[in-house]
Structures are given as structure tokens and as C-alpha cells.
Amino acid sequence: MKTKFGWVMIDGVRYDHDVIMHCDRKVTRRQKNLSKKLKCIYRHTPLSETELDILASEQPAVVYIGTGQVGDLPVAPGAQLVLERYETIMRKTPEIMDLLAEEKRPFIAVLHVKC
């Protein structure tokens, strides 16, 4: 797995947008539209509790949040409350990619590819 500003490569596939890696290792596009209404408050589209609804259905052992190349992904207060129920590791996306390569437990990873 690799990442640079604006993209992430997972299992040989390059994604030029934010992604979510699910417990079954499936990769989907992050649904930023669920959090767009908060962009005016945070300057960037933050991670919101609405985006984290997947945690209840997938029940990961750990949640990884890749905050971007320099670490600018804001997390809304409601999302913070949801994440408190899970072991959560939040770091810059390149650091998260290194951790994911070693992770054996079921996880969900939200990976921001810019900022």
C-alpha cells in the first residue's frame, strides 16, 4: 500500500479520492456528501457521525482514520463521540498505511488522500 498527495494505492489499485477500507478489505469511495453541510464550519469536509454509521453494522476491532498527507482532516464532535466506542488510531494517511499493512484484526479505515 502506498500514498502520496491526492491518491492512495491499495492492492495495486490507485484511488484518486478518499476511500473506506471495510472489514472484508473491500474498498469503497468515502461518501463525503454525508458531511458536506459541515464544510462551512471546518473549511474542509469533516468526518461526521453520519459517515460512521458503517461501524455499527461491521463492528470492527479497530478504526483507523488517515487524516491526509499533512494531517488536516477535521473530525466533527459527533464523530468523536462515535469513535470513543472503538479503539481508534488517527494519524496522517502515510502512517496509517504502514499500520494497515501489519493489522490482523478486523478494521475499518477512513483514508483522506489530500491535505
Tens-place pLDDT, residues 28-73: 999 999 999 999 998 889 999 999 999 999 999 999 999 999 988 9
pLDDT value at residue 44: 86
From residue 18, alpha-carbon distances to 62, 64, 85, 104, 105 in Å are 19, 13, 23, 23, 22
β-strands 62-66, 27-29 pairing: unpaired
Distance CA(39)–CA(33), nearest Å, equals 10
Record the pTM: 0.94
pLDDT of 49 = 95
Architecture of the CATH domain 2-111: 3-Layer(aba) Sandwich (3.40)
Phi and psi based region of residue 50 (left: phi greater than 0; alpha: psi -120 to 50; beta: remaining): alpha
Parse the chain into domains and list their residue ranges.
2-111
What pLDDT is recorded for position 1? 86
What pLDDT score was predicted for residue 104?
Answer: 96
Q: How confident is the model at residue 88 (pLDDT cuts 50, 70, 90)?
A: very high
C-alpha cell at 84: 470513543
Mean pLDDT of 102-109: 97
What's the confidence (pLDDT) of residue 108?
Answer: 98
Is residue 82 over pLDDT 90? yes
Distance CA 16, CA 41 (A): 25
Q: 11-26 pLDDT, tens per residue? A: 999 999 999 999 999 9
